[in-house]
Amino acid sequence: MIVWVNGSFGAGKTTLVAELHSRRPDLLVYDPEQVGLLLRDIVDVPTGDFQDLPLWRSQLVSLALGLLKEYERPILVPMTLVDPLYVSEVFGALAAAGVPMHHFFLKVPAPELERRLRARGNPQGDPEAEAAGLRWVMERMVRCVAAADTMPDGTVFLDGERPTAELADDVLKHVGAI
């Protein structure tokens, strides 16, 4: 089983998955962004977004399937995936492989997202990288917020302004015994 936590940058996906993992440390945490960062180290990404690489999308699915097969444990996935074609491709491939999936989307108003994104900073302390990263996510924020209207049937929408512990309770109730 995959529990996919989706939403805009700054919506709290990683924080929610960390809370879920703290309650259920037997679950695997798989962040497909790591696959994208690896690919970006190997090949050029002409658009600047590794999600535009067909190889990223296929490897995201392949690694998820491998983790499920090898370790036979549910997977928590914190990942912004909002392009309708990519959502369909990735979720369709997982469904075709027979993987049960629960998809959650954290909804947070744009002004709150902007506040969170400006507050988080860059852990390396590199002001240029921090500014470039902030510009990149801010440019995509409106699209991510609007994507809530394009999410597939069965998506569970969560109010991302609620406390993380409450959101984790909701997710665990929804997925049942995992």
pLDDT tens readout for residues 84-133: 999 999 999 999 999 999 999 999 988 887 887 777 765 566 777 777 67
The answer to the question of residue 177 being in a domain is no
pLDDT of residue 172: 96
pLDDT tens, position by position, 139-172: 777 788 778 899 999 999 999 999 999 999 999 9
* pTM of the full structure: 0.89
Can you tell me the mean pLDDT for 74-92? 97
Give the whole-angstrom CA distance, residue 26 versus residue 140. 33
The answer to the question of residue 175 being in a domain is no
Can you tell me the mean pLDDT for 7-13? 89
The answer to the question of residue 66 being in a domain is yes
The answer to the question of residue 174 being in a domain is no
CATH number at residue 127: 3.40.50.300
Give the whole-angstrom CA distance, residue 92 versus residue 61. 10
| 117 contacts: CB under 8 Å, gap ≥ 6 | 9, 10, 134, 137, 138, 141
Q: Domain containing 26: what range? A: 2-169
The answer to the question of residue 176 being in a domain is no
Q: Exposed (0-12), middle (13-18) or buried (19+): which is 128, by Cβ within 10 Å?
A: exposed
Least confidently predicted of 7-11, 60-64, 112-116: 112-116
pLDDT of residue 81: 96
Number of domains in the chain: 1
Mean pLDDT of the chain: 91
